[in-house]
């Protein structure tokens, strides 16, 4: 029987170990008891998907719905360009949850939080800031040129300015960046069409594949223009591991480094490789956990 909520994700062949890990975590956390699993297939041959077929409700092979004006197109780019089209690819659901392949659902409460947060709002999503995140990007911030003259720097500002406008970059520079690796959006939201429009406008200026990652910036532009329609999720529902101080492990569950300890519902392994480990603390001892279990 079809459920009301769709979890959508996908990966190319190279990233499939992450995708398999995510799907198994969805099953182990019982998240698939409340949501259908829908898979975007992006490669010419997608035989590797058969390894997780038993968990999938729907799958669809996709191409590019947005126009790209550069030649170096890659299959994994579709996992960015097709996010504004989730309800078109898998119609009929009330809400759509997107999970990057490099996420892992530790507790179905994270999925329930995404669903509950969109009862009255259009979009539920987390920012990339938290009290436990270690600031590692030395290229971000205000750079001293000389004397009392400073220059704004940072990936977000540079690309807001390049693909949107200087005014937008300056306006959003000090505002948190929302991470679209985990989000839930209502099917009746106007954001779908707004996102398509803003993302395409950015891609129209992209002369190389570097511009493909404006998917997140275009969504952030919409978020701040329609802020009353947003539910801000706690970072425990999209915990970006590489930004964080070591997690705390207690009785097979991970908790925030900061007090009071809060249980982590969804881990996000962005910037990690599938064969890497991440550091955590257990009984004050440093230990490592593998990304792919």
The two three-digit tokens of residue 133, written as one number: 């995140």
Phi and psi at residue 270, to the nearest 5°: -55, 140
Q: What's the distance, CA 96 to chain centroid?
A: 13
Residue 74: predicted pLDDT: 97
The CA–CA distances, whole Å, from 273 to 45, 245, 248, 289 equal: 23, 19, 21, 13
Q: What is the pLDDT along the chain (293 residues), one digit of tens a residue?
A: 779 999 999 999 999 999 999 999 999 999 999 999 999 999 999 999 999 999 999 999 999 999 999 999 999 999 999 999 999 999 999 999 999 999 999 999 999 999 999 999 999 999 999 999 987 655 556 565 555 554 555 778 788 889 999 889 888 878 999 999 999 999 999 999 999 999 999 999 999 999 999 999 999 999 999 999 999 999 999 999 999 999 999 999 999 999 999 999 999 999 999 999 999 999 999 999 999 98
Q: What is the pLDDT of residues 239-265, one digit of tens each?
A: 999 999 999 999 999 999 999 999 999
What's the CA gap between 214 and 201, in Å, rounded? 10
The CA radius of gyration of the chain, in Å to the nearest whole number, is 19
- CA-wise closest residue to 110 among 55, 221, 165, 34: 34
Taken in order of first residue, the domains within the chain and their CATH numbers are: 5-131+177-235 (3.90.550.10), 141-172 (no CATH), 239-290 (no CATH)
Residue 169: predicted pLDDT: 85
- CA-wise closest residue to 230 among 194, 186, 200, 172: 186
The CA–CA distances, whole Å, from 23 to 203, 284, 291 equal: 31, 31, 14
């Amino acid at each position: 029987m079809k459920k009301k909520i769709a979890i959508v994700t996908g990966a190319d062949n190279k990233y499939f170990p992450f995708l398999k890990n995510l799907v198994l975590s969805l099953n182990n956390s019982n998240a698939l008891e409340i949501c259908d699993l829908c898979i975007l297939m992006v490669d010419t041959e997608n035989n590797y998907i058969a390894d997780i077929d038993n968990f999938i409700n729907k799958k669809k092979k996709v191409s590019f719905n947005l126009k790209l004006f550069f030649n170096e197109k890659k299959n994994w780019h579709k996992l960015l360009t097709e996010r504004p089209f989730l309800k078109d690819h898998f119609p009929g659901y009330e809400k759509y949850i997107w999970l990057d392949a490099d996420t892992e659902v530790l507790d179905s409460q994270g999925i329930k939080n995404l669903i509950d947060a969109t009862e009255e709002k259009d979009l539920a999503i987390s920012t990339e800031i938290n009290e436990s995140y270690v600031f590692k990007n030395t290229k971000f911030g205000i750079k001293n040129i000389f004397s009392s003259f400073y220059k704004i720097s940072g990936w977000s500002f540079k690309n807001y300015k390049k693909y949107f406008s200087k005014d937008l970059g300056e306006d959003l520079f000090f505002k948190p960046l929302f991470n679209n690796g985990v989000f839930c959006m209502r099917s009746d939201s106007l954001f779908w069409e707004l996102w398509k429009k803003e993302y395409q406008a950015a891609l129209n200026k992209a002369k190389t594949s570097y511009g493909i990652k404006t998917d997140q910036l275009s969504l952030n532009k919409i978020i701040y223009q329609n802020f009353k329609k947003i539910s801000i999720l706690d970072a425990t529902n999209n915990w970006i591991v590489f930004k964080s101080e070591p997690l705390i492990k207690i009785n097979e569950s991970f908790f925030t480094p900061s007090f009071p300890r809060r249980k982590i519902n969804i881990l996000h392994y962005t910037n990690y490789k599938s064969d890497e480990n991440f550091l955590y603390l257990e009984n004050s001892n440093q230990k490592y956990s593998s990304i792919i279990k």
